[in-house]
Structure 1
């Protein structure tokens, strides 16, 4: 029923201007629309809607992620833009914050300005 439909993802923000700067200028997504209560971005054909909220508590798990060709190059680029990966006690990660799963996937996590946990993943099958 929905398998042939485009995905629309939602992320909350308490500061739309700060979120717009992060997703547009830091992450590099194309801003499609700016409305009073939301921002729409093109995320490689999917719609990412950043919704303005008065208050919220970020979730402790990944809410949005991207598959990348080279996780190390992506992290280095993020670092030059002031974004650094999270490091966790319960994962064995390298100095850049990359964890290699038992299946060989490389994953790293970073946060947006509101504390939403985002990820990048280099898939061994790609």
Structure 2
């Protein structure tokens, strides 16, 4: 039967050495490098995601990882100081400000950026 407490997600990267540095040192996550250069990022007790190397990696055109934050302005500022560039959107349903943040009427806000393999990651303030 399905082991719900062990469900995890995964996505690929061009270079897991580069991904290791980014997820550990830029995002500050708990990263382990295992066999075949597979990275395991532990989020909390029982929750993790995997990044695996793929020579012909093609980045997704959608968000592969959502990271909740308590203050999106602070999070964007801190990551920008570490060299992270935020994506800009100007579409009917998503418009970002000069920092790359979109603010919703309900008080929530989002900002998107990419990892070294161009996988899209979102910061979310609920």
Tell me the TM-score normalized by structure 1: 0.87
Cα distance, 1:26 vs structure 2: 0.7
Question: Residue in 2 aligned with 1:30?
Answer: 30
5+ residue gaps, structure 1: none
Where 1:36 maps in the other structure, the secondary structure is helix
RMSD between superposed Cα atoms in Å: 1.8
Q: Tell me the number of residue pairs that the alignment of Structure 1 and Structure 2 aligns.
A: 123
1:5-61 deviations in Å (ceiling 9; x for gaps):
144121211111101110111111112342224111112342121111111211111
Question: Residue in 1 aligned with 2:55?
Answer: 54
Give the Cα–Cα distance (whole angstroms) in 1 for the partners of residues 34 and 4 of structure 2.
Answer: 27
Structural mapping, 1:16-95, within 5 Å? 16-45=16-45, 46-90=47-91, 91-95=94-98
Q: Which moved more, 1:58-67 or 1:106-115?
A: 58-67
Give the Cα–Cα distance (whole angstroms) in 2 for the partners of residues 104 and 6 of structure 1.
Answer: 33
CA contact (8 A) 1:108 1:120 kept: yes
Tell me which stretches of 4 or more aligned residues in structure 1 moved more than 4 Å: 1-4
Give the Cα–Cα distance (whole angstroms) in 2 for the partners of residues 102 and 6 of structure 1.
Answer: 35
Give the Cα–Cα distance (whole angstroms) in 1 for the partners of residues 101 and 6 of structure 2.
Answer: 30
Give the Cα–Cα distance (whole angstroms) in 2 for the partners of residues 57 and 9 of structure 1.
Answer: 17
Question: Residue in 1 aligned with 2:112?
Answer: 109
Cα distance, 1:92 vs structure 2: 2.2
